[in-house]
Structure 1
Amino acid sequence: MIPTFVFVHGSGSSAHAWSATQREMAARGHRTLALDLPGRGAGFTQAYYEQDLETFAAEPSPVRDVTLETQTRLVVDAVQRMRHHGPVVLVAHSFGGLPVTAAANAIPELIDRIVYVAAQCPVERAPGEYPALPAWSSADLFTATAPLMIGDPASQGFIRINWRAADRAQRAALREAISGELTEDEFLQVVLTSQPDEVFWLTGPEWDVRADKDSWGRIPRTFVKLTKDRSMPLAVQELYVAEGDALTPDNPFDVRELESSHAGFLRRPAPLAAILDDLSVRAGAGSR
């Protein structure tokens, strides 16, 4: 049976990020669904668009009360609905790995494969503990976004980044951190569609999801390493793979590589689509 690919976006993003990938997958004959995690897809406020910073800083956030549980529920619901049409392959990018891992813990019997594209896959520790590890020390993302952050995430309960405030030098730093192979004009399209608010997942037990050996560990899985990633360094990606393989040595990751930055592949999707195209044959043949 033909599988459905369910795409889950990363931090500061939305379903829109997968549009080029979906077009490429459609051209290859595949059925796809891209999800907006809770608080996404509603567009931008007038204050953010017009850069009325005083008003923007005081605005409530659509992700203020979003939890891992609400995100996971949305992913689970999508999988349950798509499963009526055949096998389901869950594809997560970056932060999207957290709700995808939680969904895999909850409904392993409904998921035929998980594909982590430089996505978080916590196994041995809470998600928020990984950025403090030495493997993350070469990441450029935090330093590139720090000048654009508005307010204190710990007191606000969410992260707010004013992407539109970046001057040329700051945009250059962001481009190198996120998608260095894109031209400046291509990267401007990334900035224009980036969501300013993100859940504050770095602390708190409510965000402590870890891969479960007896549920998540039953599902075939692929990790697509992005070899030019300067947001989630290659060493971090390899750590997730190593921990997952140690948890279930009889069901290790199928590891693939893309010569891409953290988000560049989203604008140039053919190589990822080729990997997913290959995996679709396995998902269809191995449908449980």
Structure 2
Amino acid sequence: MPSLVLVHGFWHGSWCWSQVLAHVVATGHRAVAVDLAGHGLYARRPRWFTARRYDAAAVDTEVSPLAGVSLDDAAALLTSQLGLVGGGEPVTVVAHSAAGPVLTRVAQRRPDLVAHAVYVSAYMPASEVPAAAYTRVPEAADGRVAPLLRGDPARTGALRLDLATDDADYRKRLREAFYGDVNPALAEAATGLLTPDGPMGVMLGTTTLTRDGWGSVPRTYLVCTGDVALGPALQTRFVAEADAAFPDNPTCTVKLDASHSPFLSVPEELADVLASLG
């Protein structure tokens, strides 16, 4: 069975997969969670986040220390991680949310390293379309993350959450966007582990998809039907575009009754689905 490599989305870290990993390993699979570029051990926090005095103006204007991180950078890191985990053999890669375009780039350039591409409520952009473009399509109109973002990404170089604010309403809306069906205590703990900046360069990069590249890799899309961050309508659009472009390699679709964070709300169910893909 190919090893499983789990990749988190923006603002999170490999920590978010801990409960899923336990269940997956119990099924006999080899699995590991890795950090996306600009996150986890690669995170770099802006000055305002740790300042002794809260500065709302700095939240909106300070250039992110991750402003230079591109889709190329993120893909290069993931490629190296896959090579290390698989030892040159293909692995099953599971991408959540904004890790989707990174997986797509890696699978296009190194399809030999990806036995199966799995997207969990993730961006799965079409050929030569940046993931950021999908934030402006009709299917994204009701997404609850965009209203939480602070500053102008063109200026800061990041998609930024204000994780230093003591605004109770803001923090409530953030938990609802990501963790609507998660145990409140667990949701609060997860919120405390988030980092404020996601590198905008990952969302702006594009990948030209080909039949012998990404189009040749088996793929599965896990639609989270209760997601209010990246809604089911947008998730369904990704699948439709992929299948229209590569009809000979259709996407297998699995529905989960979960919010944007099934790794916290239904970890055992998610693990069972991932284990079955091996």
Return the TM-score normalized by structure 1. Answer: 0.86
The one of 194, 198, 221 equivalent to 1:223 is 221
Q: Does 2:134 match 1:130?
A: yes
Question: Deviations 1:122-176 (Å, cap 9, x if unpaired)?
Answer: 1153322111110111211112x14xx2x43211222332224153322322222
**Alignment check: 8 A CA contact 1:121 1:210 kept:** no
Q: Which residue of 1 aligns with 2:194?
A: 194
1:9 deviates by 1.0
The one of 101, 105, 114 equivalent to 1:102 is 105
- Which consecutive residues of structure 2, in runs of 5 or more, have no partner in the other structure? none
Q: 1:14 to 1:63 in 2, by over 3 A?
A: same
Question: Deviations 1:1-33 (Å, cap 9, x if unpaired)?
Answer: x31111111011111111121122122222112
Q: 1:247 to 1:16 in 2, by over 3 A?
A: same
Separation in 1 of the partners of 2:229 and 2:166? 18
Q: Give % identity.
A: 31
Instruction: Point out the more displaced range, 54-63 or 173-182.
Output: 54-63
**Alignment check: 8 A CA contact 2:111 2:217 kept:** yes
Instruction: Point out the more displaced range, 125-134 or 159-168.
Output: 159-168
Q: 1:203 to 1:13 in 2, by over 3 A?
A: closer
**Alignment check: 8 A CA contact 1:126 1:210 kept:** no
- Which consecutive residues of structure 1, in runs of 5 or more, have no partner in the other structure? 281-288
**Alignment check: 8 A CA contact 2:4 2:92 kept:** yes
Separation in 2 of the partners of 1:237 and 1:182? 21
1:202 deviates by 8.1
**Alignment check: 8 A CA contact 2:44 2:66 kept:** no
Runs of 4 or more off by more than 6 Å in structure 1?
Answer: none
The count of corresponding residues between Structure 1 and Structure 2 is 273
AA partner of residue 72 (structure 2): E
Question: Deviations 1:47-78 (Å, cap 9, x if unpaired)?
Answer: 63565334975876441221111100011112
SS of structure 2 residue aligned to 1:163: coil
1:209 deviates by 2.5
SS of structure 1 residue aligned to 2:277: helix
**Alignment check: 8 A CA contact 1:222 1:253 kept:** yes
Separation in 2 of the partners of 1:168 and 1:65? 32
Q: Which residue of 2 aligns with 1:286?
A: none
Q: Which residue of 2 aligns with 1:156?
A: 156
Q: 1:51 to 1:20 in 2, by over 3 A?
A: farther
Separation in 1 of the partners of 2:208 and 2:8? 19
Question: Deviations 1:61-115 (Å, cap 9, x if unpaired)?
Answer: 4412211111000111122222327540010000000110000010112211000
AA partner of residue 271 (structure 1): E
Question: Deviations 1:203-242 (Å, cap 9, x if unpaired)?
Answer: 75xx123543331010111000000000111010000000
SS of structure 1 residue aligned to 2:255: strand
Q: Which residue of 1 aligns with 2:31?
A: 32
Q: Does 2:79 match 1:76?
A: yes
SS of structure 2 residue aligned to 1:242: helix
Separation in 1 of the partners of 2:53 and 2:19? 32
**Alignment check: 8 A CA contact 1:129 1:202 kept:** no
SS of structure 2 residue aligned to 1:52: coil
**Alignment check: 8 A CA contact 1:162 1:196 kept:** yes
Separation in 1 of the partners of 2:68 and 2:99? 17
Q: Which residue of 2 aligns with 1:261?
A: 259
**Alignment check: 8 A CA contact 1:122 1:211 kept:** no
SS of structure 1 residue aligned to 2:154: helix
RMSD: 2.4
Return the TM-score normalized by structure 2. Answer: 0.89
Separation in 2 of the partners of 1:223 and 1:210? 20
Q: 1:279 to 1:73 in 2, by over 3 A?
A: same
